[in-house]
Amino acid sequence: MTQQQDPTAGLVMSYLGLRRAVGVVAVLLPFVLLAGKLLIDGPGLPGSISAYYYTSMRNVLVGLLFMQGTFLLSYRYDRRDTIAAAIAGVAVIGVALFPTQPINPTPVDVAIGIVHLVCAGTFFLTTAWISLFLFTLSDGSPTRRKLQRNVVYRVAGIVILVCLVLQVVTDNLLPRAIVDTVHPVFWLEALAVIAFGVSWLVKGETVLRDDQ
């Protein structure tokens, strides 16, 4: 007798696959930009991930951000998850469409840079909210693995928020010489993006999946 295939299996694999894709792109993003810039342009670290727009890695940055946005906009699960993912998707595409200010900005560049900051802030805040308040939801009887995953989600959400606050603080309060040498905004953005990616990889059951 032929075994009947579960009609929901394809849907489950679909949203799990999207979660993993979102996570992989996020985790790889800062490393791809770092390696590409080093190989093509040589040493030197831009002040932020967004500043790679003004290097030879511009097309890679924009392409990966659009890819991430497409994955998030394609994500379908619970209504709250779908809406939150769509907001994050639109925001990250906005980050790609409206670049950060160049070194010597014109008034138009300044206006575009403000839109960029709003989109970036919306993206990080939304992804932190997803990790803290959506990924941690359960049916009331969480498994041991689910409790472990919740720890990862909460840590990831807190890391994103802390990094977001520290970006503002360091960029505005630290001496310019230190900022230009250490590039704290880049490292904080990279850490926040990686935390976001790890959260989605765990939600995609890449690791810490329930025992079968």
**DSSP structure class, residue 1:** -
Per-position pLDDT tens, the chain of length 212 = 344 455 444 445 588 899 999 999 999 999 999 999 999 999 999 999 999 999 999 999 999 999 999 999 999 888 999 999 999 999 999 999 999 999 999 999 999 999 999 999 999 999 999 999 999 998 888 999 999 999 999 999 999 999 999 999 999 899 989 998 999 999 999 999 999 999 999 999 999 998 75
Tokens for 179, please give them: 């900022």
**DSSP structure class, residue 132:** I
Say if residue 95 is exposed, middle or buried (CB neighbours under 10 Å; 0-12, 13-18, 19+): buried
C-alpha 78/C-alpha 74 separation (Å) is: 13
What are the residue ranges of helices labelled H in 41-78? Answer: 58-74
What is the model's pTM?
A: 0.92
